[in-house]
Amino acid sequence: MPEQTTTDTPALTLAGARKSFGAVHALVDGRLELRAGEVHGLVGENGAGKSTLVKVLAGVHAPDEGELTLGGRPAVLGGPADARAAGIAVIYQEPTLFPDLSVAENIFMGRQPLRSLRRIDTAAMRRRTRELFAQLGVQLDPDRPARGLSIADQQLVEIAKALSFDARVLVMDEPTAALSGVEVERLFAVVRSLRESGAAILFISHRFDEVFALCDRITVMRDGRWVSTDPVGQLTVGQVVRRMVGREVSALYPKQDTQVGDVVLSVRGLTRAGVFDAVSFDVRGGEIVALAGLVGAGRSEVVRAVFGVDRYDTGEILVGGRRLPRGRPAAAMAAGVALVPEDRRQQGLVMELPIERNVTLTRRWSLSRLGLLGPRAEREDAHRWTRLLQVKVGHLSDPVSTLSGGNQQKVVLAKWLSTGPKVLIVDEPTRGIDVGTKAEVHRLMSQLAGEGVAVLMVSSELPEVLGMADRVLVMHEGRLVEEIARERADEESVMLAATGQAGRP
């Protein structure tokens, strides 16, 4: 358990916070207490009220009821500027930097130090930026353009910006969702140094291993209400899950026994120079096969090549014994292959389009009459699939961007399941969604396998791999290095293979 260096007076408290949007009660009883020198975890399902609570702290939403105090004094935030002036900074999952400006210019945007005749003092701006990065223990060039920075470096720039405002309360909303393991460790080192300097940090994540490794206390929310706040040393993952969703951890992986059938997908000698080499495997109807490995092992590139999105140099792909033409997603779809991509926002959905249009994108011709798709047919079909997948929507005509991450993922699944696939490829199917929705996605995958669909799953979450897969195929540096049956698969065997250590003494 991390050490705490907290003071008696909380840096921030929120009590009895309520916020409604029309008939939707987003926040019913929001409570939070943040202490200086503490990393405080906030967990809950999508729709639990976390995002609304964060926006109250950021000054984006004014609560309908409730009391906010900072350093023991009542505070009223009239907007984001008031929150920044009060020392509250929010660092979101997706940083919002100006790509064509330098790192230093992004940090001091609108607050640049001035020389005589109101000219920007670029030397002072660079110097102050270096001081901020030194405080964080990182090295970034103040003159480097923001364009091309990794997500991890963009988040460090956002943290430096927060420090430049003298923020003493930092809210970090899913900051590790798009980071590699090395980048996560670097971010954690920065967060720990901020804690040691006396900052109060609110850390929001769906990843329990991170929450338990980093946080001092954990607050659980459910249905817009505070459920509990406890020191991390007094909690287990099972207890947190039960408080969040009212079910046991084992219920997250509802794997059902199935009758495995014939080979549906066969990949032979698939090679793309410098990316993956001589990859061969089969997936049978009724089974879930996991493609595991470290980031950069080539897993996503292989499944994208199978679907025809990415090219490959040699090899062949057969579905139901028939060879798929190379680089033609339309041919893959016609053969019964569906791909739920890793990046749902950029590759799985058209965020500006309505929910109903996104659901029917894969079947617009089959739903049309004489080449015309009427709004009634589209809406009825979308209603059927969103009901089957229990997608929580306001109106089907709303942009899909208005949905939570978990419900967006269900829309992507609806879009592809409606095609009646023989092969379902899911790339990181539960990334960035809450545990309750994860269980629903896993139930769907298991149900489809029970109906004879061949499921190929790419996942970086070992519990998901071990909980759902009938077989685990492990990749290392572009090569398929080991196949592990379900009864032999455990974390050690998968990680040894993923790091190239399998079979070594």
Q: Indicate whether 119 belongs to any domain.
A: no
Going by C-alpha positions, the residue among 100, 106, 76, 98 that lies closest to residue 88 is 76
For residue 482, being part of any structural domain is answered with yes
Classify residue 133: in a domain, yes or no.
Answer: no
In a domain, 360, yes or no: yes
- Token pair for 463: 């519990």
158 shares its domain with 70: yes
pLDDT in tens, the chain (505 residues): 444 444 578 999 999 999 988 776 889 999 999 999 999 999 987 668 898 999 999 999 999 999 999 999 999 999 998 998 899 988 877 778 898 999 999 999 888 888 877 888 889 999 999 998 888 788 889 999 998 888 778 888 888 888 888 888 999 888 876 666 777 887 888 889 889 989 999 999 878 888 999 999 999 998 889 999 999 999 998 888 888 876 555 667 888 888 899 999 999 999 999 999 999 999 999 999 999 987 778 999 999 999 999 999 999 999 999 999 999 999 999 999 999 998 887 888 888 898 988 888 888 777 666 666 667 778 888 888 888 888 888 888 889 988 877 788 889 988 988 889 999 999 988 877 777 778 888 988 999 999 999 999 999 888 889 999 999 999 998 999 999 999 999 888 888 888 877 655 4
The DSSP letter of residue 271 is E
Whether residues 165 and 57 share a domain: the answer is yes
Question: Is residue 33 domain-shared with residue 75, that is, in the same domain?
Answer: yes
Rounded CA-CA distance 113/98 in Å is: 19
Q: Does residue 290 sit in the same domain as residue 364?
A: no
pLDDT at 132: 87
With respect to residue 134, please indicate whether it lies within any of the assigned structural domains. no
Backbone angles phi, psi at 258, to 5 degrees: -130, 165
> According to the model, what pLDDT value does residue 270 have?
97
Q: Give the pLDDT confidence of 361-382 residue by residue, as tens digits.
A: 888 777 666 666 667 778 888 8
**Same domain assignment for residues 168 and 284:** no
Alpha carbon dihedral 360, 365, 366, 372, in 10-degree steps, equals 100
| 121 within domain boundaries | no
Last residue of one domain, picked from the residues 371, 404, 420: 420
Domain that holds residue 55: 12-97+149-247
Number of H helices, E strands in the chain: 17, 20
CA angle 157, 158, 160 (to 5 degrees): 65
| pLDDT for 56 | 94
User: What CA–CA distance (Å, rounded) separates 203 from 169?
Assistant: 11
Q: Is 505 exposed, middle or buried (0-12, 13-18, 19+ CB in 10 A)?
A: exposed
Query: Tokens 């290392």 map to which residue?
Result: 476
d(CA 411, CA 405): 10
Residues 101 and 108: their CA atoms lie apart, in Å, by: 11
Average pLDDT, rounded, for the chain: 87
End of a domain among 370, 392, 420?
420
Identify whether the C-beta of residue 465 lies closer than 8 Å to the C-beta of residue 275: no
pLDDT at 3: 45
CB count within 10 Å of CB 401 equals 13
Residue 309 has which token pair? 């999105």
Find, among 144, 199, 151, the residue nearest to 171 by Cα.
199
179 shares a domain with 154: yes
Q: Domain tally for the chain? A: 3
Residue 241 shares a structural domain with residue 274? no
pLDDT at 5: 43
CATH code, domain carrying 328: 3.40.50.300
Q: Indicate the helix (H) or strand (E) that contains 340.
A: strand 337-340
The DSSP bridge pattern shows strands 423-427 and 337-340 to be parallel
pLDDT value at residue 229 = 97
pLDDT attached to residue 13: 96
Q: How far is it, in rounded angstroms, from Cα 459 to Cα 416? A: 19
Is the domain of 271 the same as that of 241? no
Same domain, yes or no: 235 and 270: no
Q: Is residue 120 part of a domain?
A: no
User: Does 126 map to a domain?
Assistant: no
- Look at residue 161 in the predicted model and tell me its pLDDT: 86
Do 386 and 283 share a structural domain?
Answer: no
Residue finishing a domain among 405, 420, 435: 420
Cα of 200 vs its chain's centroid, Å: 24
184 and 242 co-located in one domain? yes
> 297 and 319 in one domain?
yes
